[in-house]
């Protein structure tokens, strides 16, 4: 019988399957159902900084120009109270690791929130770090420094593992990951999925594009996890975006990931997809005579980082050079 146990960010997981942060994990009852379906861990629906700032700005009126700060504080307290309740209730019902999620892009008071979330019983905190940089006077490296600062401030206040979930809009993810590790991150999730922008050409308005990820999107995570797991081996990795079947889990583990975060596949097919994906993982391991995840994890990670760029260019020429 294949052993699916793995370790991610210092947490012991019965298998590499983590249900990603979304409305699928916004209640203790749903989280218990995911555990019963076979999940190794869950990431709770995120507490969004943008939502707090947006709502407080819309409540403020011209008659009360100073009300913004008051309402912002009130909304923070309200959302945090709701969130810590979700953590507590999920921990009461679930025996698998429960990972809290904070979606942030500024360095504000998240370390204080993190302490309360830890006290509520969360097993780890995932910092959802995602933003685009558009300033014409942008100083290169300042964005990465900001992300490292957020991680450092939170990690200095809590004892539970801090996980960084990063976007794919980075010049050099490896340098950032090394920086995040130095500032206290125990694991990195690659990658965050940006809002998909589209345009309605009849109404000439911006609209939402493809909401759910597709299997082809996994390629980006595979490339960078393969490189990062070799360059910064002291960090744990999870693949996110495009993991839609057992083969996707296998590929992620071969590249060097310890776990995968899955969302879109579960939106499409629900709990049955989770079980099917784990069965496919087991079947592959048995075909290749692997007794445990550790027997093959990282087998396909980059072996020569100095030649990584040449390798990528060579593969491009190999597959597309003959196209007419």
Please list, residue by residue across 171-194, b when 16 or more beta carbons sit within 10 angstroms of its beta carbon and e when fewer do.
Answer: eebbebbbbbbebbbbbbbbbbbe
Q: Which of 52, 177, 175 is nearest to 113 (CA)?
A: 52
pLDDT of residue 58: 53
The pTM (predicted TM-score) of the whole model is: 0.91
pLDDT of residue 316: 65
Which residues, in sequence order, are bridge partners of residue 207? Answer: 198
CA distance 133 to 115: 29
**CATH 3.30.1370.160 for the 6-320 domain, yes or no:** no
Please state whether the peptide bond connecting residue 26 to the residue before it is cis, i.e. omega within 30 degrees of 0: no
Q: 265 near 243, Cβ under 8 Å?
A: yes
- Which phi and psi angles does 61 have, rounded to 5°? -120, 165
Q: 290 near 27, Cβ under 8 Å?
A: no
pLDDT of residue 170: 85
CB atoms within 10 A of CB 312: 11
Low-confidence ranges of the chain (pLDDT < 50): 62-63
CA distance 285 to 254: 12
SS3 state of residue 101: strand
CA distance 58 to 259: 40
pLDDT of residue 210: 82
Please list, residue by residue across 6-22, b when 16 or more beta carbons sit within 10 angstroms of its beta carbon and e when fewer do.
Answer: bebbebebbbbbbbbbb
> For the chain, what is the radius of gyration of the CA atoms?
20
């Amino acid at each position: 019988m294949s052993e699916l146990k793995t370790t991610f960010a210092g947490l012991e997981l019965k298998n590499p399957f983590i249900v990603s942060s979304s409305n699928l994990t916004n209640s203790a009852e749903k989280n218990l159902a995911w555990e019963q379906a076979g999940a190794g861990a869950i990431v709770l629906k995120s507490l969004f900084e943008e939502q707090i700032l947006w709502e407080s700005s819309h409540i403020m009126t011209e008659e009360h120009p100073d009300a913004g700060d008051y309402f912002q504080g009130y909304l923070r307290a309200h959302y945090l109270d709701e969130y810590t309740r979700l953590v507590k209730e999920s921990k009461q019902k679930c025996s698998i690791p429960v990972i809290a999620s904070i979606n942030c892009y500024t360095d504000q008071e998240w370390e204080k929130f993190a302490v309360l979330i830890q006290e509520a019983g969360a097993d780890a905190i995932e910092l959802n770090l995602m933003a685009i940089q558009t300033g014409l006077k942008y100083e290169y490296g300042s964005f990465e420094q900001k992300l490292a600062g957020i991680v450092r401030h939170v990690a200095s206040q809590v004892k539970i593992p801090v996980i960084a979930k990063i976007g794919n809009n980075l010049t050099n993810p490896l340098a950032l990951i090394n920086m995040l590790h130095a500032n206290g991150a125990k694991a990195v999730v690659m990658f965050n999925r940006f809002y998909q922008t589209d345009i309605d050409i009849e109404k000439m308005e911006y609209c939402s594009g493809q909401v759910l990820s597709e299997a082809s999107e996994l390629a980006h995570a595979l490339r960078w996890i393969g490189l990062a797991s070799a360059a910064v081996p002291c960090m744990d990795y999870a693949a996110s975006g495009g993991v839609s079947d057992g083969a996707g889990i296998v590929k992620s583990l071969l590249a060097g990931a310890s776990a995968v975060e899955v969302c879109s596949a579960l939106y499409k097919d629900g709990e049955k997809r989770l079980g099917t994906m784990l069965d496919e993982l087991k079947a592959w391991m048995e075909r290749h005579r692997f007794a445990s995840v550790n027997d093959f994890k990282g087998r396909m990670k980059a072996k020569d980082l100095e030649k990584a760029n040449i390798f990528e260019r060579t593969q491009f020429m190999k597959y597309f050079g003959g196209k007419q």
